[in-house]
């Protein structure tokens, strides 16, 4: 946990920022059974709960009263029946104390408490529930069907605005996650050999992360099929001539994430074709990240990134015509189907549970939820000092998509389908780093991880010869 003062200050700031009355209701996550009640997945606390309270216990609730400024934690202490299975652990009262909460009451009292608030015609503000059990609980508390639950927009906006600007101590923790993640990636690069299965690389990384007090912040994407954006199948055999896309990041004990991607050849050297495609993506991350600064719209960073990708593909004869027009027409979505980056913090896609519209967009410029490519852009709004985010351009040759577009001759004025056919089975490349926006620009977070072709080849040569 951070200091008690941190949590008290964050809550006071939240109350100050919300221009509304009533109560703020915070819910935690619950233990999730794998196959029966007492055999559970590792517990992960809800990130907003972690941010404002730092307590990692399941099934507790906290109410912040906006009118009286009172804070109450609803939860049950371990019974002797619990203690015989778990041992004597830190009590809930002790945890509450560390979080700066003086008043704890039994869990079941939440029902009467919320009912009383509703009867007083006061507003119960809650965040969007993403777990089924919290939807059910809210429906019971608010006495409305799940379909009529209405998360509080002022609450969401206040949390997003606060969590989007990282404190110094949060950035330090993200950099801890990155320090482990960078070493983990280097180890993965070093371990990769023809004849290995992709999951063997994941196992090497898991070992390193856990030895250093971290877990994976998300299921690692380690694949020779880098064109599959979130390829979680890691059973393929690696051969000379393949490239490995490694998108993996650690989470610290406090819950902060890192999210790095590197793509490298299984052989010690890139082939000429691999060099060509890699160089384009490398140019894209360099040109896009160089734009990062307060007041820059991330939408423009995305456009710079896809323009660089399309210029490079034009040099290879895959794209033709005017690049600006090609970008304008969305022809780039044949090669890059997602967004160039996202906020990062306590969640790898920070605050995505609160709604991409609120995290990545503003009311006046809402998210396009329909257009192919654009609907996957998680971040578009102006950046601010203290934002932490990823930049992650890529080129993805997706055979099924290429076949569809080829059959339709879609955007044929911009795409040379005969030339593209030669690259159809190439796979995909992504390069991703993490950044903090500073007052005068940006800083790349964490230790340096090889990014250029020379750096990667030299590292592999030095260690494999
Ligand atoms: N690291 C996976 C993603 O950003 O979607
Ligand atoms: Mn990412």
Mutate which of 217, 378, 392, 433 for ligand 1? The one with the most ligand atoms within 8 Å of its CB, which is: 392
Ligand nearest to the CA of 390: 2
**Predicted pLDDT at 170:** 98
- Collect residues with CB below 5 Å from ion ligand 2: 259, 390
Task: State if residue 433 touches ligand 1 by the CB under 6 angstroms criterion.
Answer: no
Which sign does the torsion angle of CA 409, 410, 414, 416 carry?
Answer: negative
Task: State if residue 432 touches ligand 1 by the CB under 6 angstroms criterion.
Answer: no
**Predicted pLDDT at 464:** 62
Task: State if residue 350 touches ligand 1 by the CB under 6 angstroms criterion.
Answer: no
Name the band, by pLDDT with cuts 50, 70 and 90, for residue 19. Answer: confident
**Predicted pLDDT at 60:** 98
d(CA 454, CA 282): 12
Ligand nearest to the CA of 251: 1
Mutate which of 185, 229, 432, 434 for ligand 1? The one with the most ligand atoms within 8 Å of its CB, which is: 432
Ligand nearest to the CA of 232: 1
307-337 tens-digit pLDDT: 999 999 999 999 999 999 999 999 999 999 9
The answer to whether the CB of 379 falls within 8 A of the CB of 389 is yes
Question: 375: which DSSP letter?
Answer: G
Alpha-carbon distances, residue 251 vs 163, 214, 215, 217, 281 (angstroms): 17, 5, 5, 5, 26
349-366 tens-digit pLDDT: 999 999 999 999 999 999
186-226 tens-digit pLDDT: 999 999 999 999 999 999 999 999 999 999 999 999 999 99
- 3-state SS assignment for residue 352: helix
Ligand 1 midpoint to CA 247 (Å): 7
**Predicted pLDDT at 76:** 97
Name the band, by pLDDT with cuts 50, 70 and 90, for residue 164. Answer: very high
The answer to whether the CB of 376 falls within 8 A of the CB of 360 is no
**Would the pLDDT of 460 be above 90?**
no
Tell me the pLDDT of the chain averaged across its residues: 97
232-290 tens-digit pLDDT: 899 999 999 999 999 999 999 999 999 999 999 999 999 999 999 999 999 999 999 99
Ligand 1 midpoint to CA 161 (Å): 22
**Would the pLDDT of 118 be above 60?**
yes
**Predicted pLDDT at 465:** 53
Threshold 0.85, pTM exceeds: yes
| Residues whose CB is less than 8 angstroms from the CB of residue 314 and which lie 6 or more positions away in sequence, other chains included | 320, 323
Closest ligand 1 atom to 249 CA: 1
Q: Tokens at residue 371, please?
A: 């257009």
């Amino acid at each position: 946990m951070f200091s008690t003062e941190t949590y008290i200050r964050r809550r006071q700031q939240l109350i100050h920022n919300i221009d509304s009355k009533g109560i703020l209701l915070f819910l935690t996550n619950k233990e999730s059974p794998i196959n029966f009640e007492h055999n559970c997945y590792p517990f992960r606390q809800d990130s907003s709960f972690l941010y404002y309270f730092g307590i990692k216990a399941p099934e507790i609730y906290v109410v912040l009263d906006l009118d009286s400024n009172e804070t109450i934690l609803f939860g049950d202490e371990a019974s002797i029946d619990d203690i015989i299975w778990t041992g004597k652990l830190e009590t809930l009262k002790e945890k509450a104390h560390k979080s700066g909460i003086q008043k704890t009451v039994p869990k079941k009292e939440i029902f009467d408490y919320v009912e009383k608030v509703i009867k007083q015609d006061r507003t119960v503000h809650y965040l969007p529930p993403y777990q089924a059990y919290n939807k059910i609980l809210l429906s019971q508390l608010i006495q409305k069907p799940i379909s009529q639950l209405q998360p509080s927009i002022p609450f969401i906006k206040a949390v997003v605005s606060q969590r989007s600007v990282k404190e110094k101590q949060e950035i330090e923790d993200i950099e801890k996650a990155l320090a482990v993640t960078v070493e983990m990636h280097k180890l993965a690069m070093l371990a990769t050999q023809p004849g290995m299965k992709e999951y063997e690389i994941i196992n090497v990384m898991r070992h390193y992360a856990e030895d250093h007090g971290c877990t994976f912040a998300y299921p690692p994407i380690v694949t020779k099929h880098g064109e599959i954006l979130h390829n979680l199948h890691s059973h393929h055999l690696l051969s000379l001539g393949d490239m490995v896309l490694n998108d993996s990041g650690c989470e610290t004990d406090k819950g902060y994430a890192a999210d790095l991607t590197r793509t490298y050849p299984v052989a010690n050297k890139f082939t000429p074709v691999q060099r060509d495609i890699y160089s384009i993506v490398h140019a894209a991350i360099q040109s896009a990240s160089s734009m990062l600064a307060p007041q820059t719209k991330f939408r423009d960073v995305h456009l710079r990134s896809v323009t660089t990708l399309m210029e490079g593909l034009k040099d290879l004869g895959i794209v033709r015509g005017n690049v600006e027009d090609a970008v304008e027409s969305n022809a780039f979505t044949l090669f890059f189907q997602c967004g160039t980056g996202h906020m990062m913090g306590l969640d790898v896609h920070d605050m995505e549970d609160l709604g991409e519209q609120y995290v990545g967009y503003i009311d006046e410029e809402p998210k396009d939820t329909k257009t192919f490519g654009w609907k996957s852009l998680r971040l578009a709004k102006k950046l601010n000092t203290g934002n932490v985010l990823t930049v992650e351009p890529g080129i993805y040759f997706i055979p099924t998509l290429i076949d569809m577009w080829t059959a339709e001759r879609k955007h044929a004025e911009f795409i040379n389908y005969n030339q593209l056919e030669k690259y159809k089975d190439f796979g995909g490349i992504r390069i991703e780093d993490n950044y903090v926006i500073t007052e005068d620009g940006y800083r790349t977070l964490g230790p340096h991880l090889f990014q250029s072709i020379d750096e990667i080849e030299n590292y592999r040569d030095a260690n494999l010869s």
